[in-house]
Structure 1
Amino acid sequence: MTSILTIGRRDMLRASLMGSAAALIPSAARAASTMPRSTPVRWIDGEAPTLSLGPTFGVPWPRGAVKPGAPLAVRGDGKPLPSQHWTLATWPDGSLKWSAHALPAGMDQPATLDVAPGRPTAPKAGVMVREQADMVEIVSGATRWRIPRSGAVAIAGAWAGDRKVMGPLTLVASIDDAPENGRRTQLTGRIDRVTVEQKGPVRAVVRIEGIHAGAGRSLLPFTVRLYAYAGGDHLRIVHSFIFDGDPEKDFVSSLGLVAAVPMAGAPHDRHVRLATTQGHLFSEAVRPLTGLRRDPGEAARAAQIAGRAVPMDAMADSVRPLLDRIPTWSDFSLSQLSADGFAIVKRTQAGHAWVDATAGTRALGLGYVGSPMGGVALAARYFWQRHPTQIDISDAASDEARLALWLWSPDARPMDMRPYRGVLGMEGYDAQNEGLAITYEDYEPGWDSATGTARTSELTLWACAATPGADRLAAMAQANAVPPQLMVEPQRIHAANVFGPWALPDRSTPMKARIEDQITNLAAFYEAEVDRRRWYGFWNHGDVMHTYDADRHQWRYDIGGFAWDNSELSPDLWLWLSVLRTGDAGLFRFAEAMTRHTGEVDVYHLGRFKGLGTRHGVQHWSDSSKQPRISNAIYRRIYYYLTGDERVGDLMRDLLLSDQTLAHVEIGRKVPGAERKTLPDGVIEMTFGTTWCAVASSWLAEWERTGERKWRDRLLAGMTSIGGLQYGWLTGTAPFDLSTGRFLGKGDSISVSHLNAVFGALELNAELLDLLDVPAYRTAWLDYCRWFNAPRAQWEAKFPFPYRGRNLREGHSRLTAYLAHETRDPAMARRAWEEFFSGEAGLGLSHGDPRVTLQGPQILGPTVEWPHVSTNAAAQWGLAAIENLALIPDALPAQG
């Protein structure tokens, strides 16, 4: 367990809500915390895995507790473990805020772990990286990998000891010029740059950048990271690509990786393995010896089934001279074209018929081909969830087989990235606003483009010294499909005071228990809806729908802005705060899949919209509202610090200049009746919550990660200039100087939007005000929290501007709660809970579990419904419930 941390005066003030408002103590006055004696870390699934492919996890540290560069060690079951650590983030005083830790791969993982001060233990056989002018070599134990710095090969080969078990691995794709029966152009990944990011001893990371090329074209740029862990004979592969084609002309018809595998030995000693469901394999030899009319003998059959070389001297005399009469099966294919069905076929060679082998539902996505002299396994995570996928093994009877894993199956229909709809007469803004009024879709011709969206896939590649046994292969497939994950205990994360207002679950009173039950049930409902509603597919997996259609008993997948959610009103934050509180494995992976989706598919990574995300719609890119509120780094930040994931780190860094994109993408261009201001070059109109806070979240992350003062200064420029406006945050929007990061003008008018604080503004401001001492900004934010949900009479007595109706009162109760907490105002605390329990423009607190199960011919199948649910309401209710319980728990009446 952790030691008791030193509590500063500010923390004591925050411990209760009593009396009237008192002067607030700036963050700089907080006492530094002491170093926790040890930090408990747990497997999120509750027990040590059968096989770990090399875990990496983040550890938060209280401000001032750990000096930068201090050695940290990991122990497992009370004994030192080999480990490697590095800094992810620092506090403003330079002390360590987040560290990342990597452990070796292997079967024997400890059940309990902790991190404590001390020099880390080195592995007996660490990972080494050797850099040469034309090549990078990674050595892990007896396994070697060679990565060329340029050319058409991503990995030149792999060796198990002195034997080469894998030849070249290439990145491949194809483009058709029509969605059906088009001409196909084959593309191969061209390597442009290779960077060594880590060199070991426990973990090495190599980053490969390039683009697919062929037939005079270059498109689909990619970034691929290779991770090697001590104790492993594998590479973890994180494969990211950007769709940069023309949706009307370029139809991606395949995308994948292909490895050459040297084959040795007789055909009956060559083996194919395909992982089907958990713990099960399709296991066959290129030349089968079982089931023959003549029995080769038990020893021969047993050896082949086990994947070992068949002892020829034990083979029956009636079979040995007839082996060449047995057909060899050279090609195998497993295709997963939907979330609910895969099929395996095989053939003897090209030019002959495919034979159906078997079929099933959801394959884990691992393929292996090899012989007693070695082989290669390749697996993709989310194999069935990201359909259409495929594994092909070809030429297994020849001297060199090919193992291909397709992230997009060449046997499926090509990707169709065209808009789903026509213009319908909506060339002008007036007509587009009419469309918004009826379908909730903000349509605009040419703005519903998929060009610039991206997708990241996770894979594992093994270089095997021999054909692994069935148990080992099944464990490999499972470890890739559901990677074992370590996470610091929630109590310890909370003690570090990171990620704003949240607290551990508390069921100490009937009303707290009732709220906690709904927090749990609501997250569980959405997690289960993914499978019930089949929210799967290459571009869709990880997102949820926006609004439910109770008449059709399904989500409004085909109704404009009511379809895919695209992070609208912060479901990402709600889920990650739920993970922080509980460490729940299902929620962790649900939120992880959402982070993988929303940071890639819903955001533009190149082109005119680079750095912006797309508002909710039927397609993830179909809405014309391109805004930072969706690309928001605050939605990625928790996952980054819990895992140290480099790809998500890239995505946050890519947003640092996203405000500059708004110089030519005017967010408010269609607002009817809005005054169109003429602004100087380099100055744009910017809202505080939906835009500035979203971009500022990337500046905060970069400041934490690098310590570079320019990002702190960018934050301070925005904060001080908002604080200098007459009405502060209530101004809502003001001209913003893109070069200085300052808001301009007097701010002598008020514009209160129900959207300004529901895209992470409170969560970001809670952290900013804890890190930066800007009194005027603090006052401006607390004023906003005071007046957003204020009663009409109080507003009209205070301001010379008319009171306009508010929305999302329930969700905004957490602003009132934050004010009550910061000012120690019991009356505000009572008001916050009244706002929360009103359920106004929200989900409301149910009596018991509101979920109902429906049956009957009017629905597709057995259906579970949550009455009146929408993701807007769910996310905002979840955030308000979690944060109100953290901020003003003692003000909650025991019975409501």
Structure 2
Amino acid sequence: MTTFMTSRRQFMQSAASAAVMSTLPSLALGITANDGSEPRPVAGTDLRWLDGAVPARFEGATLGVPWPRGTLRAPTKGPLQMRLTGAGNGARAVQSWPLAYWPDGSLKWTAHAVAAGNSAEAWRLELGASAAPAVGGVAVKQTSALITVTVGPTVWRIPTSGEHLIASATRSGRAIVQDVKLLALRQDGPQPDETGTVTRQRYTSRVDQVTVEQTGPVRATLKLDGMHQGQGRNWLPFSVRLYFYAGAESVRMVHTFIFDGDAKQDFIAGLAVTAKVPMSDPAHDRHIRYAGEGVGVWGEAVRPVTGLRRDPGDAYRAAQVAGQALPPLAGMAKTVQDGLQWIPQWNDFSLTQLSADGFTLRKRTVAGQAWIDVNGGTASKGLAYVGGAAGGVALGLRDFWQRATTRLDVRNAAGEVADITAWLYSPSAPALDMRPYRATNGMNTHEQQIAGLNIIYEDYEEGWDSATGVARTSELQLWALSATPSHDVFSHMAEQVANPARLVLAPERIHQCAVFGDWDVVDTGTQGRRLLEEKLSAQLDQYLREVKQHRWYGFWNYGDVMHAYDNDRHMWRYDIGGYAWDNSELSTDLWLWYSYLRTGRADLFRMAEAMTRHTGEVDVYHLGPFKGFGTRHGVQHWSDSSKQPRVSNAAYRRIYYFLTADERAGDLMRELLDSDANLHKVDISRKLAPNAARAAPDGMINASFGTVWGSLIAAWLAEWERTGNSRWRDKIVNGMQTIGGLKRGWFASAAPYDPKTGKFGGAGDYFQFSNLNGVFGVVEMNSELLALVDVPAYRKTWLAYCRAYNAPKEDLVALLGRDPGGRGMTNTNSRMTAYAAYHERDRALALRTWREFFGDDFAKNAARDAPRHIDGTATLRPLDEQPNISTNGSAQWGLAAIQNMALVGGSLDEAARAAGLLR
């Protein structure tokens, strides 16, 4: 059975001995089958932990599981029944439901929610009735005003409208938490050092609608939608999902808000989730906990009895350190008993993560008195607790240090009701300034804007660099506890906040199901494959390193990477127009997700997950005139005036959705279903020379096949898969049929498009190449679509285009009558050659694939771009630099290597030897 490796060396050694999952139907050609045309048996559905080790604490989780076409069908009556058994740990309750379907109606993906509790090292999922939850399941009751969710001894009450997300949570009848709500602070200007004075206004949540999405017995899910209200204004729309798992003492919260303000006057000074905690224990039995560095925990009492001038006794000190109620005070040293009233009660506590490099912890006795410094450190895992022997509340924020500035507050811990608050954006920091980073700088005319584009690679138009409509999603965990957790338990809880435990499938098990097109499991069994696998791994490692080296952190930034590097400054080109933030340019998201699929590496999963959370929210407009489109790469995530579906592309969210059944990712894809209806609002080609031959008639828009239509079809495919609704299949097929019906087919590159029908029009009697047409997911989507639907004319034109794109000039002239130019990125587009070679069973074309991929300078570039260590005065901090690194090149090279090995990997060694790369 496959296990997950903890180091690159272990991973590479294991991969070298892994069995190749596909057969070789045409061994002489060295072409590997991967078209998914026949059902493949599944050896077993074994689950492992993403991080390899059994988690010390598991709060429940959900995963997606794929199935080969035709092997599993949903029941005609009742829920999908699956059982989960653990090695040496009995059965675990699991809730299962269909997630996606094959065209024949069989199940393609199923989702499985696993109950919380102690965990085994390995689990097996199989057909059969699930075990019942060990300590009672999740039960949901609804009235018009209130939804009650019961999980074991805890009862959560969620109002259907009003200020509170959660009205209260009780355990065995005792109130533990109440009045959970959202906070937002608006500031009417930037910081005082610019304007002299600013004013702040406070807004709280107003829930307008609650949707019960699941009712148990293992998982219940509620979606709360509303606005922030205050000062006579409603703004910052939000959506919060609450997840309740059987056996868990906590609720998981997925919080999304959309910025709908005016960046010139609406500055976000703080965003938070806050709750009230009834406090009934005496001050010396009330406790505060904060997660520190690593596994570290800071814990103290509101009124400490340790460190005093007089010793209360060993039992009292030990109990307080452990977070337990003190023994009867009658047994305490008399001098301490009499002096308890003089020991200060510490009322307020605050841990502020000022940056990714450090946090500070402070406390004070009461508002109006000075704060005192407690301690500090580098990266906190983002969990706080307030409570006592009778119970308390822990509240955690994921990606706490990565998204700094963040803050965790406890207030009024010495009073009757304490407050605990997780600041998603801390009021300790300067307010979020979402104004454009630049002025017009003379770029008033089209010609001036083109001139600017030609020097700084930024597409600028005044007013098109607006942040209004972008969003951000955060994840939190709220515990209602019956007692103060020990330091060890609290540390385990903090790890769950920072790195939630996930059950996952081995790459081989996913690959058996022929999902996500052309890829294979890592295999270093031949010299050629080892050459490519090692470079793939090294390049991925470099990007993981770059996140840390260049501090790609912060509220808006975390999850994105930069576009291109400046060797002279030893910096990424963070301040140079279109060379700064990448914003999914050339499918970085897909590169990371396919790399995870092949390897099962936990670090790649988390990097890809952070990118999905970022690029689907921050880089895309969710309301306003650009709704449904994303922003091209730029200095700010919204600064470039090119708004395109190639960035909002659902293909970049789809893999994550099916692997995790994440509802927010599903929302993002559904948002895009009708985004083509807005294409007329944004002329994507307005900075290009007009072409009368492709002018679109009224009601239609000129659309490229790759960057536009190819970016739209992923949302339609996902919806067809999720619902079986043929409307979305038909829209895809309409596009495929009409492209296939054009005189030049795919060689036309673009044509007039009708958003109502999904059809292209016109004669299509022209031809043009664009090196961007194949690098925003359409190659991956075609690999899937042509295995799902049969459109012969489209298949023919796509295969012809794939064969011709990198063909010698004389072949192209013979085919088209002339060479139209515009071809580029030969090594990247070698995967189209590989696709044609595989499907046409053409060995010569398979070898040509590798000649195109390696080119004339593979070895030379490898030597030129070898990593080097930079330190001293040349750079801000020591770093391991890869000269000339480009995310465009890295992502597309990686995707080409992955697809080429999957399709024509059998000819790799022969081609590599011919190129002088192997001995």
TM-score range, shorter chain: over 0.9
Partner residue of 1:105? 116
1:778 matched to 2:808? The reply is no
Residue among 264, 285, 288 paired with 2:304: 288
Partner residue of 2:867? 851
**Normalised TM-score (structure 1):** 0.96
The change in CA–CA distance for 1:379 and 1:610 in structure 2 (over 3 A counts) is same
Structure 1 CA distance, aligned partners of 2:23 and 2:598? 22
Residue among 540, 543, 549 paired with 1:523: 540
RMSD (CA atoms): 1.8
Q: How does 1:27-38 map to 2 (within 5 A)?
A: 30-34=37-41, 36=42, 38=44
Structure 1 CA distance, aligned partners of 2:201 and 2:610? 31
Moved more, 679-688 or 346-355: 679-688
1:658 matched to 2:675? The reply is yes
1:585-636 residue CA offsets vs partner (Å, 9 max, x unmatched) = 1111011111110000000000111110000000000000100000111111
Residue among 44, 47, 50 paired with 2:50: 44
Moved more, 173-182 or 189-198: 173-182
Task: Tell me how far 1:802 sits from its aligned partner.
Answer: 3.3
The change in CA–CA distance for 1:869 and 1:131 in structure 2 (over 3 A counts) is same
User: Are the aligned partners of 2:619 and 2:638 in contact in 1 as well (CA < 8 Å)?
Assistant: yes
Letter in 2 for 1:47: A
Partner residue of 2:66? 60
User: Are the aligned partners of 2:566 and 2:884 in contact in 1 as well (CA < 8 Å)?
Assistant: no
Q: How does 1:568-583 map to 2 (within 5 A)?
A: 568-583=585-600
1:9-43 residue CA offsets vs partner (Å, 9 max, x unmatched) = xx9785546499xxx9998xx44444x35211111
Partner residue of 1:8? none
1:144-190 residue CA offsets vs partner (Å, 9 max, x unmatched) = 11100001111101111111011211111011110123211100010
Partner residue of 2:5? none
1:885 matched to 2:896? The reply is no
Task: Tell me how far 1:801 sits from its aligned partner.
Answer: 3.7
Structure 2 CA distance, aligned partners of 1:718 and 1:679? 16
Partner residue of 1:589? 606
User: Are the aligned partners of 1:750 and 1:801 in contact in 2 as well (CA < 8 Å)?
Assistant: no
* Partner SS for 2:369: coil
Residues matched between the structures, number: 880
Task: Tell me how far 1:71 sits from its aligned partner.
Answer: 2.7
Letter in 1 for 2:163: A
1:386 matched to 2:403? The reply is yes
1:322-378 residue CA offsets vs partner (Å, 9 max, x unmatched) = 211111110011111211111111111011111111111111110100011111000
Moved more, 125-134 or 220-229: 125-134
The change in CA–CA distance for 1:25 and 1:60 in structure 2 (over 3 A counts) is closer
* Partner SS for 2:829: helix
* Partner SS for 2:205: strand
1:116 matched to 2:126? The reply is yes
Structure 1 CA distance, aligned partners of 2:909 and 2:151? 59
Partner residue of 2:555? 538
User: Are the aligned partners of 1:14 and 1:821 in contact in 2 as well (CA < 8 Å)?
Assistant: no
Partner residue of 1:514? 531
Partner residue of 1:685? 702
Task: Tell me how far 1:688 sits from its aligned partner.
Answer: 0.4
User: Are the aligned partners of 2:30 and 2:905 in contact in 1 as well (CA < 8 Å)?
Assistant: no
Q: How does 1:343-492 map to 2 (within 5 A)?
A: 343-492=360-509
The change in CA–CA distance for 1:514 and 1:500 in structure 2 (over 3 A counts) is same
Task: Tell me how far 1:844 sits from its aligned partner.
Answer: 7.8
Task: Tell me how far 1:891 sits from its aligned partner.
Answer: 1.2
The change in CA–CA distance for 1:430 and 1:692 in structure 2 (over 3 A counts) is same
User: Are the aligned partners of 2:35 and 2:514 in contact in 1 as well (CA < 8 Å)?
Assistant: no
Partner residue of 2:264? 248
Partner residue of 2:16? none
Structure 1 CA distance, aligned partners of 2:358 and 2:287? 24
Task: Tell me how far 1:397 sits from its aligned partner.
Answer: 0.6
1:81 matched to 2:92? The reply is yes
Gaps of 5+ in 1: 3-10
1:218 matched to 2:219? The reply is no
User: Are the aligned partners of 2:694 and 2:751 in contact in 1 as well (CA < 8 Å)?
Assistant: no
1:537-591 residue CA offsets vs partner (Å, 9 max, x unmatched) = 0000000000000000110000000000000001111111110011001111011
Letter in 2 for 1:113: W
Partner residue of 2:215? 199
Partner residue of 2:651? 634
1:132 matched to 2:148? The reply is no
Structure 2 CA distance, aligned partners of 1:455 and 1:686? 29
User: Are the aligned partners of 1:37 and 1:117 in contact in 2 as well (CA < 8 Å)?
Assistant: no
Structure 2 CA distance, aligned partners of 1:610 and 1:405? 30
Structure 1 CA distance, aligned partners of 2:253 and 2:859? 41
User: Are the aligned partners of 1:837 and 1:845 in contact in 2 as well (CA < 8 Å)?
Assistant: no
Task: Tell me how far 1:850 sits from its aligned partner.
Answer: 2.3
Task: Tell me how far 1:800 sits from its aligned partner.
Answer: 2.5
Letter in 1 for 2:683: E
The change in CA–CA distance for 1:486 and 1:822 in structure 2 (over 3 A counts) is same
* Partner SS for 1:421: coil
Partner residue of 2:663? 646
The change in CA–CA distance for 1:277 and 1:624 in structure 2 (over 3 A counts) is same
* Partner SS for 2:320: helix
Partner residue of 2:723? 706
Structure 2 CA distance, aligned partners of 1:889 and 1:514? 12
Structure 2 CA distance, aligned partners of 1:881 and 1:843? 15
Partner residue of 1:875? 891
The percent identity for this pair of structures is: 52
1:251-300 residue CA offsets vs partner (Å, 9 max, x unmatched) = 00010011000001211111111111121111111111111111111111
Structure 1 CA distance, aligned partners of 2:617 and 2:557? 11
User: Are the aligned partners of 1:545 and 1:557 in contact in 2 as well (CA < 8 Å)?
Assistant: yes
1:739 matched to 2:756? The reply is yes
Structure 1 CA distance, aligned partners of 2:703 and 2:25? 33
Letter in 2 for 1:176: Q
1:459-490 residue CA offsets vs partner (Å, 9 max, x unmatched) = 00000111111111110001110111111111
1:183 matched to 2:168? The reply is no
The change in CA–CA distance for 1:572 and 1:293 in structure 2 (over 3 A counts) is same
**Normalised TM-score (structure 2):** 0.94
Residue among 291, 298, 320 paired with 1:275: 291
User: Are the aligned partners of 1:208 and 1:225 in contact in 2 as well (CA < 8 Å)?
Assistant: yes
1:316 matched to 2:330? The reply is no
1:504 matched to 2:508? The reply is no
Task: Tell me how far 1:791 sits from its aligned partner.
Answer: 1.1
Structure 1 CA distance, aligned partners of 2:692 and 2:318? 81
Structure 2 CA distance, aligned partners of 1:267 and 1:118? 52
Structure 1 CA distance, aligned partners of 2:399 and 2:843? 49
User: Are the aligned partners of 2:30 and 2:904 in contact in 1 as well (CA < 8 Å)?
Assistant: no
Letter in 2 for 1:752: F
Gaps of 5+ in 2: 3-21, 193-197
1:625 matched to 2:642? The reply is yes
Task: Tell me how far 1:678 sits from its aligned partner.
Answer: 5.2
The change in CA–CA distance for 1:489 and 1:215 in structure 2 (over 3 A counts) is same
The change in CA–CA distance for 1:244 and 1:180 in structure 2 (over 3 A counts) is same
Letter in 1 for 2:586: L
Structure 2 CA distance, aligned partners of 1:288 and 1:388? 30
Moved more, 178-187 or 626-635: 178-187
1:769-809 residue CA offsets vs partner (Å, 9 max, x unmatched) = 00000000001111110111111111112213433142111
* Partner SS for 2:787: helix
Partner residue of 2:9? none
Partner residue of 1:864? 880
